[in-house]
Amino acid sequence: MTKANKISVIVPCLNEEANLKELIPLLLKYGGSILSEIIVVDGGSNDGSVVVANSCGALVVQSEICNRASQLNLGSQHAKGDILYFVHADARPVKYFAKVILSNLEKGKDVGCFCYRFDSKNKLLRINSWFTRFNGVLSGGGDQTLFIKKTLFESLEGFDEDYCIMEDFELVRRIRQKTDFHVLPNEMTVSARKYKENSWIKVQLANFAAFSLFLLKVKPASIKSLYLNLLFKKSISITVVE
């Protein structure tokens, strides 16, 4: 039975032991009585992610497929709340995020995300994060998290599991075709680890290339191949969707 006005938080996971130790207690603290449950969908971690998630009070679901879209859909199937909130393991929620989400839902905002700042004082990253407050074609990436009424999510048939990358933007594109999408002004925190492990320009180039190919309807596998090549010098093979 679906719980009315309750939020199910869904966290996809692969080797995120350290992040889960921080994230889950924050979700419990700022979710309060509005939380239905926290669902960690593990894609085959070989660290202590599953043990940590269980010990922190989350429900752990094992996914046979290590694919974020598949993991998020699987999590939604186990959700008992009537509101879904998708959160990456390296994100840190807005204080009292559950009340903020519920308040906006009461205003008719059935789906949306938050703006964010990085856990870094780097000036270039401050510029990047400043743009997340705007609602446009670049809005709705997974780093901004996503809240959505479960009925709306199900009517859209969830994430497209063919998208091994850009699954978040693909869903938001379909959402916009059906209803209004909202970017809330409350600021959450996102890890800058990708930028710390690579150069700022390299990540920017990879992101720009991936999004451009997404808009050109290039097949997701080809987008991922190029993205990984730009970051880690892997091979490239590009095919346009007919």
The pLDDT tens digits for 139-176 are: 999 999 999 999 999 999 999 999 999 999 999 999 99
Given a cut of 70, whether residue 237 has pLDDT beyond it is: no
Indicate the average pLDDT of the chain: 95
| Average of per-residue pLDDT across 89-99 | 97
- Tell whether the model's pLDDT for residue 1 goes beyond 70: no
- Looking at residue 146, what is its pLDDT? 99
Phi-psi region of 148 (alpha: psi -120 to 50; beta: other; left: phi over 0): beta
**Which pLDDT value is given to residue 233?**
72
CATH class of the domain comprising 3-191: alpha beta
For residue 9, what pLDDT is reported? 99
Instruction: Determine the pLDDT at residue 3.
Output: 80
| Ranges of each domain in the chain | 3-191, 198-242
Task: Give the pLDDT score at 97.
Answer: 98
Say whether pLDDT at 20 is over 90: yes
User: Is 72:41 a contact under the CB 8 Å cutoff?
Assistant: yes
- Own/partner contacts of 195-199, CB < 8 Å, gap of 24 or more, are 195/118, 195/120, 195/122, 195/125, 196/120, 198/231
**Residue 182 pLDDT level (bands cut at 50, 70, 90):** very high
